Amino acid sequence: MNMKVLLVYPEFPETFWSFRGSLGFVGKKANFPPLSLLTVAALLPGNYEARIVDMNVLSLRQADLDWADIVFTSAMLVQKESLARLVERVNKAGKPIVAGGPYPTQCWEGIAGVDHFVLNEAEVTLGAFIADLEAGCARKVYQSAEKPDLERTPIPRYDLLDFKPYSSMMLQYSRGCPNDCEFCDIIELYGRKPRVKPPGQFVGEIESLYRLGYRGGIFIVDDNFIGNRVGVKEVLRRIIEWQEGHGRPFTFSTEASVDLAKDEELLALMVKAGFTMAFLGIETPVVESLVSAHKTANLGISLHDSVRRIQESGIEVTAGFIIGFDADPEDVAERQIAFIQESGIATAMVGLLSALPGTALYRRLAAEGRLLGESSGDNTHELRLDFVPKMEASKLIDAYARVLTSIYDPKRYFERCGVLLSRLPRRTGAGRAAAAERSTLENARAFFLSFARQSFSRYGLHYLRFLATTLLHRPWALAKAIEKSIHGFSLFEITRTKVRRPWAMAKSLGQELELSAKRLDGLMGGKDIAGIEGILAGARAIRRGLRLIAAAYSAHSAPGLVESQLRTFTERAASFLGDLALRFPGLSADAAGRRVPDLPAMRN
Ligand code: B12
Ligand code: SF4
């Protein structure tokens, strides 16, 4: 049977990882293509035709749907809403839709409108589905606990892509991780035995991108690239050989555990192969919290020294941090800020602990009755909790917001960039490597746009000081400095819109209300003759607060208000209005205008 398969990747909302603000500087629309769908496309029978629409770079046209016999889609939890919109559209077009990927695999029972769920790893489940489809008896769900050998994974269909809108390509060398962190869903999805591709197969994928004309940055998406030490060294030697034979057209970035710093040989091989960035799961400098989360790979070593060693070898360290562990102390924010600042980790992904479905953490919190509903799938820059923490919730959210506003304060950000550049050696060419990822024209464009927009911004002085210092002391690192500046642009913006502004507004409203309530108390006791001002100020605060709450909860795009702050705020407002109603029945109706809303009800 011949079949036309349209593979559609739903849009991402704006998150820390979108770097939307920065993409314009380099003339790109998205950072990465959907490797899942490119891999699934390669697993289809040879006589099937495939087309791909990544809705992060292209819009889905009716003509695409008309062309297709069947639509395939893939999603992470964070794409839940865009997936629902896509499913509705495909249903309306009368085409069958098949879904797979991490979100359907963990939550398929809650997803409506999908005809077939082909879950877990497509290498195992897709074949059975295709056979049933062709026989006219396809079932609703295909699942398997088998963790297939990656030798069965074909070269992804990069030929279906237009490379231009993407700032980087993706490859996968391994799946699974040997560690056992309580909050991690990787080990649940892909297992604890790292499975790797044979070196020849992996280098074949690099070659395929090269043959298709791609040059530049490649993100190796493994959750822990160094999970299999023997295998990874072997593949690195092959990559080095390949890079040297082809004029070093690629630079690489990846994710790894912190113990990478312990293995000098491995570090040296990575640098030689062209690795310029590694994302480390540092999580927290608080040892008790690392122990409670079973993050054993980070214990018994100096995290500071490890970061420095990797940076000094020539690899930029970016890292993930988490706040909200049961063992976190009251000063966790200050400790996180100090660690991030001193270690020169410019791009730090700090998240509130989140209970992803299927994880050991999720199971424990469910057993303890501490879950508050489904995680949004995005744990960064979102001021909300999906579980009841040990620390008082408002204190925890306060601490989290403090970390983000502090580390993404432009002055502090550029200071960290300075530390980073001072540690990256010239030999591996931090500047040269960054430049190699883009053409000279793209670099010139990025430089020009960054200079024009950032020099005259509110943080222009810090930006110019950073550039001037780089030019003076390390002119070879200018391209890297521009790259970090344009990343900063995006990070400042997302912090300002999702954290700083709503947090400050909710805080000041709460304070205003508290003050008014105090004045009201005074008035009630007959001690405060200016108390009427308090009542009016309180009424104004309540009205503004109501508007804020309504905006936050009605717009899909703005869930980022400080939930616990608002909860406190509404409780205070309610008691304030209660007092008014009791003592001045006429005034209370005028002052508040309406009832304080019930928060959860407004979210629907
Ligand atoms: C690369 C990556 C990204 C890239 C995504 C780029 C892109 N365009 O895809 C970036 C860095 C942008 C990213 C960001 C985020 N990510 Co991410 N990411 C990954 C990572 C490391 C690799 C994904 C990948 O390409 N894998 C390779 C492919 C081949 O594997 P696969 O996707 O699993 O696909 C296989 C099967 O699932 C299945 N399959 C998949 N789709 C389909 C579809 C059909 C029809 C079929 C039949 C089969 C099928 O077959 C494939 C082959 O076996 C995964 C972890 C992982 N190991 O997969 C996390 C992961 C997917 N990300 C995750 C998260 C949480 C995020 C963020 C929300 C983090 C954050 N807080 O900001 C953001 C959100 C994105 C955004 N921009 O807003 C979670 C998702 C958890 C969940 N249950 O949804 C994961 C699992 C990692 C984790 N535990 O934290 N991510
Ligand atoms: S080291 Fe990273 S990928 Fe491995 S279990 Fe821990 S969090 Fe998950």
> 272-310 pLDDT, tens per residue?
999 999 999 999 999 999 999 999 989 999 999 999 999
Average pLDDT of 380-386? 80
Q: What is the mean pLDDT of residues 187-202?
A: 94
Please give the mean pLDDT across all residues of the chain. Answer: 87
Q: What is the mean pLDDT of residues 353-372?
A: 93
Residue nearest to atom 34 of ligand 1 (CA): 36
The span from the CA of 378 to the CA of 349, in Å, is 11
Name the helix (H) or strand (E) containing 349. strand 348-352
Q: Tens digits of per-residue pLDDT, 119-135?
A: 999 999 999 999 999 99
Cα of 492 to ligand 1 centre, how many Å? 25
List phi, psi (to 5°) of 551: -65, -45
464-521 pLDDT tens trace:
999 999 999 999 999 999 999 999 999 999 898 888 776 776 677 667 777 776 776 6
Tokens (6 digits) for 523: 């008035």
Alpha-carbon dihedral sign for residues 460, 487, 314, 181: positive
* C-beta separation of 45 from 130 below 8 A: yes
Q: Do domains 3-142 and 168-407 have the same CATH topology?
A: no
The answer, yes or no, to whether residue 560 has pLDDT greater than 50, is: no
> How remote is the CA of residue 265 from the centroid of ligand 1, in Å?
30
Neighbouring CB atoms inside 10 A of 505's CB total 17
Instruction: Indicate the SS3 state at residue 283.
Output: strand
In this structure, which residue's CA is closest to atom 46 in ligand 1? 100
The gap from C-alpha 400 to its chain's centroid, in whole angstroms, comes to: 16
- Pocket test of ligand 1: the residue of 140, 221, 253 to mutate, having most ligand atoms within 8 Å of its CB, is 221
Q: Is a pLDDT exceeding 60 seen at residue 528? A: no
> Whose atoms come closest to the Cα of 19: which ligand?
1
Give the position, in ligand 2's atom list, of the atom nearest the Cα of 227: 4
Q: Please give the C-alpha separations between residue 506 and each of 15, 394, 426, 510, 569, in angstroms, as whole numbers.
A: 21, 12, 46, 6, 8
Asked whether 275 and 253 are in contact (CB, 8 A), the reply is yes
Return the ligand 1 atom nearest residue 43 CA.
52
Q: What architecture is domain 3-142?
A: 3-Layer(aba) Sandwich (3.40)
Give percent of the chain with pLDDT exceeding 70. Answer: 84
pLDDT at 429: 44
Of 480, 473, 537, 476, residue with least CA distance to 509: 537
Is it the case that residue 597 has pLDDT exceeding 50? no
pLDDT-derived band at 590, boundaries 50, 70, 90: very low
pLDDT for the residue 361? 97
Q: Which CATH number fits domain 168-407: 3.40.50.300, 2.60.40.1220, 3.40.50.1440, 3.20.20.70?
A: 3.20.20.70
The rounded percent of the chain whose pLDDT value lies above 90 is: 68
In ligand 2, which atom is closest to the CA atom of 297? Answer: 1
Q: Which residues line ligand 2 (CB under 6 A)?
A: 177, 179, 181, 184, 186-187, 223-224, 257, 281, 297
Which pLDDT value is given to residue 64?
98
What is the model's pLDDT at position 599?
A: 39
pLDDT at 581: 66
The answer on pLDDT for 54 being more than 70 is yes
Q: What is the pLDDT of residues 89-99, one digit of tens each?
A: 999 999 999 99
The Å distance, Cα 77 to ligand 1 centre, comes to 9
Q: Report which of 350, 329, 353 is spatially closest to residue 341, judged by C-alpha positions.
A: 350
Reduce the DSSP state of residue 554 to 3 states and report it.
Answer: helix
Per-residue DSSP letter, 558: -
* CA distance linking residue 93 with residue 162, whole number of Å: 26
Cα–Cα nearest to 153, from 171, 167, 166, 133 = 171
The best mutation among 224, 282, 359 to test binding of ligand 2, ranked by most ligand atoms within 8 Å of the C-beta, falls on: 224
From the alpha carbon of 255, which atom of ligand 1 is closest? 21
Residue 602 pLDDT > 50 = no
Distance 187 CA to ligand 2 centre (A): 7
Average pLDDT value for residue range 134-144? 97
Q: Where are the domains of the chain?
A: 3-142, 168-407, 498-602
Give, as one character, the DSSP assignment of residue 17.
Answer: G
- What pLDDT, on the 0 to 100 scale, is given for residue 169? 97
E strand residue ranges, 472-522: none
Q: How far is the CA of 366 from the centre of ligand 1 (A)?
A: 25
Report the amino acid identity of residue 243: Q
Q: List the one residue out of 37, 31, 29, 42 whose CA is nearest residue 10.
A: 37
Atom of ligand 1 nearest to the CA of 30: 8
Q: Cβ(280)–Cβ(179) under 8 Å?
A: no
Q: Say if residues 203 and 238 touch (Cβ distance below 8 Å).
A: yes
Distance, CA of 394 to CA of 375 (rounded, Å): 18
The number of the ligand nearest the C-alpha atom of 184 reads 2
Alpha helix (H) residue ranges in 24-173 = 35-43, 62-67, 80-92, 102-107, 122-134
The pLDDT of residue 546: 66
Band of the pLDDT at 354, cuts 50, 70, 90? Answer: very high
Strand partners, 371: 387
Ligand 2 atom closest to the Cα of residue 183 is: 7
User: What local confidence, expressed as pLDDT, does residue 445 receive?
Assistant: 86
Mutate to test the pocket of ligand 2, among 180, 184, 354 (most ligand atoms within 8 A of CB): 184
Residues within a 6 A CB radius of ligand 1: 12, 15-18, 31-36, 39-40, 72, 74, 76-78, 98-103, 106, 118, 121-123, 126, 170, 172, 185-186, 190, 221, 223, 351, 356, 377-380
Determine the residue of 76, 142, 223, 384 to mutate for testing ligand 1's pocket, defined as the one with the most ligand atoms within 8 A of the Cβ atom. 76
**What is the Å distance from ligand 2's center to 393 Cα?**
26
Question: Which residue's CA is the closest to the ligand 1 atom numbered 20?
Answer: 221
Question: Which of 97-106, 146-155, 562-571 is least confident?
Answer: 562-571
User: From ligand 1's centre to the CA of 76, what distance in Å?
Assistant: 6
Per-residue pLDDT tens over the stretch 235-248: 999 999 999 999 99
- pLDDT (0 to 100) of residue 382: 78
What does the pLDDT average to over 3-9? 98
